[in-house]
Amino acid sequence: MRIHCLGGGLVGSFVTRRLVEAGFDVHLYDVVERESPATFHLGDALTSDHSQAEVIVNMLPGSLGNKMTSLLKDSGQRIVDLSFSETTPDTLEDVSSTILWDVGIAPGLSNMLVASAFREFGSLDSVSIKVGGNPQQPDGEWSYMAPFSPHDVIAEYTRPARVIQRGEQVEVPAMSELHSIDANGREMEAFLTDGLRSLLSMPAQKMGEYTVRWPGHIQRYQNTKLSPDELVDAWALDPQRSEFTWMEVCVSSGDETRTWIVEDLGKDGDSSMARTTGLVTACCVIAWIDRPDMFGSGVFAPEDLPDDVIQLVVEVMSAEGVSIELR
């Protein structure tokens, strides 16, 4: 089984290594030289030949990733899209490939947990997703390091957030509903961002996704005079600095509620965001290879995954040391 992994950044390198360890013939494509156990190809993934791949895992940033998936939509291959582009694959028309998109932690695992609750309850009143990857300790400045493309983080902070209010989809300004929260004993802040994506089509009375940051971070961003490129430098990831990823998914229907708390502190040199995102991605790729008939041609979201695959993702993450607690 030949797999092409496109993009060898923080998450891309983790996913690539997991797939190599699972015994697949993995080829990594990047414009930057990477140390990798996979067969490495230095060059532009968009112009490379991917015709020999049976599965393509697109981990290019933002708009580049969207362009790549658009190029592959007629190839007839299986595509896993983790690019988190503002323009999403479900807008593509006449797709003859099979595209599974947004299989990270949020969107990704968050969607799967909401879908599990929906299948259990039959209807949803409210859905709240709060998630963030942050340094373990604030620093009095940005108190933040970007675990994925900083330009994609800036896009989250600037584009309007699509939410569900009274059963209808509406747009509100990004960074709305800023409030304090308790993230496993840490006093942090949460604010609306445009992270629901495919979940917007799931019927519910109220739904929103909130980004979680240390107090003061988003206020500093709102008042900064730094350019996007300067913010990229200011938010540079420091591998020596301890960080964590935390997520709360809370779903209610009538008198029933389900709340999941997911937390990871990183392990064995892998960051928490690489692990919590990449474990989901790799698990979905392997499950799809084991069950090639899981989807026909078209575009599929995380909530379209079968219940047993969702359960497998949770079990694999737990076995790897990611804390997933159902309350």
What pLDDT is recorded for position 274? 95
Q: Using a pLDDT cut of 70, give the percent of the chain over it.
A: 100
Residue 237: which pLDDT band, with cuts at 50, 70 and 90? confident
Q: Is the pLDDT of residue 62 over 90?
A: no
* Boundary residue ending a domain (253, 270, 287): 270
Query: Torsions phi, psi of 201, nearest 5?
Result: -90, -5
Do 199 and 94 fall within a single domain?
A: no
Q: Are 298 and 90 a contacting pair, CB within 8 Å?
A: no
Do 177 and 147 fall within a single domain?
A: yes
Pick from 134, 162, 116, 166: nearest CA to 246:
134
Q: Give the whole-angstrom CA distance, residue 136 versus residue 204.
A: 34
Q: Give the whole-angstrom CA distance, residue 191 versus residue 218.
A: 9
Do 126 and 265 fall within a single domain?
A: yes
Average pLDDT over residues 75-92: 94
What pLDDT is recorded for position 239? 87
Strand 98-101 versus strand 78-81 pairing type: parallel
Residue 152: which pLDDT band, with cuts at 50, 70 and 90? confident
Do 322 and 253 fall within a single domain?
A: no
Q: In this structure, which amino acid lies at residue 3?
A: I
Average pLDDT over residues 110-119: 97
Do 299 and 158 fall within a single domain?
A: no
What pLDDT is recorded for position 269? 92
Residues 10-34: tens digit of each pLDDT: 999 999 999 999 999 999 999 999 9
Residues 210-233: tens digit of each pLDDT: 999 999 999 999 999 999 999 999
What pLDDT is recorded for position 105? 97
C-alpha distances (whole Å) from 101 to each of 29, 135, 176, 258, 298 are: 19, 27, 26, 25, 11
Do 180 and 210 fall within a single domain?
A: yes
What pLDDT is recorded for position 147? 78
The domain that holds 211 is classified in CATH as 3.30.360.10
Average pLDDT over residues 243-269: 97
More confident residue, 95 or 86: 95
Residue 79: which pLDDT band, with cuts at 50, 70 and 90? very high
Average pLDDT over residues 272-282: 97
**Contacts for 78 with CB less than 8 Å, ≥ 6 apart:** 54, 55, 56, 97, 98, 100, 288, 292
Q: Is the pLDDT of residue 205 over 90?
A: yes
Mean pLDDT of the chain: 96
Do 158 and 225 fall within a single domain?
A: yes
Q: Is the pLDDT of residue 148 over 80?
A: no
Per the structure, the count of domains in the chain is 2
Query: Torsions phi, psi of 10, nearest 5?
Result: -55, -50
What pLDDT is recorded for position 149? 78
Q: List the domain range (segments joined by +) for residue 177.
A: 109-270
Do 96 and 241 fall within a single domain?
A: no
Q: Give the whole-angstrom CA distance, residue 201 versus residue 159.
A: 19
What pLDDT is recorded for position 257? 96
What pLDDT is recorded for position 61? 87
Do 117 and 266 fall within a single domain?
A: yes
Q: Using a pLDDT cut of 90, give the percent of the chain over it.
A: 92
Residue 63: which pLDDT band, with cuts at 50, 70 and 90? confident
What pLDDT is recorded for position 150? 81
The domain that holds 300 is classified in CATH as 3.40.50.720
* Boundary residue ending a domain (240, 270, 300): 270
C-alpha distances (whole Å) from 326 to each of 48, 248, 302, 308, 322 are: 44, 10, 19, 17, 13
Q: Give the whole-angstrom CA distance, residue 307 versus residue 148.
A: 28
Record the pTM.
Answer: 0.95
Average pLDDT over residues 87-96: 94
Q: In this structure, which amino acid lies at residue 67?
A: K
